[in-house]
Amino acid sequence: MDSETLYELVVDAVRQSLQQEQGGRDTVIAARMVGGRVIFEDDQGRQVKDIPVEALFRKVTAVREKLRVLEQKINNHPRLDVADKADLQSYLTRCYGSLTTFNFLFAEESDRFRGSGG
């Protein structure tokens, strides 16, 4: 097997694993946000940064995936007791709650962030 074929197989396997972790489907950006821009301005109204919404969406979903991995590691950690796991889980829940600001980016309700209220 040549290296290109092996690479494609590995990429496909990783993609399938991530889709399974997310419930078997890709997370989709809301249609109204496709092609949009995020513009950051300073207090003088000067544009500091201008990025495609899709870039922000990728970063937000990447943070979510890292939080999910962290959550799994906490829950499966052999030396943390139940109280420590619960304490750390509460921080994760608050992180998810802080990220609810970005729920407008997601096409599917089920992909949106939920904090302690949801």
Whether 104 maps to a domain, the answer reads yes
- Tokens representing residue 72 in the block: 């799994």
Classify residue 14: in a domain, yes or no: no
Q: Is residue 118 part of a domain?
A: no
pTM summary value:
0.70
Residue 48 placed within a domain:
yes
Distances (CA, A) of 82 to 72, 77, 78, 92, 116: 14, 10, 10, 15, 19
Show the domain range for 58.
27-111
Please indicate, yes or no, if residue 11 is contained in any of the structural domains.
Answer: no
Instruction: Please tell me the total count of domains within the chain.
Output: 1
Q: What are the pLDDT tens digits along the chain (118 aa)?
A: 777 777 777 767 776 666 656 555 578 999 999 999 999 999 999 999 999 999 999 999 999 999 999 999 999 999 999 999 999 999 999 999 999 999 999 999 999 998 776 5
> In this structure, is residue 52 part of a structural domain?
yes
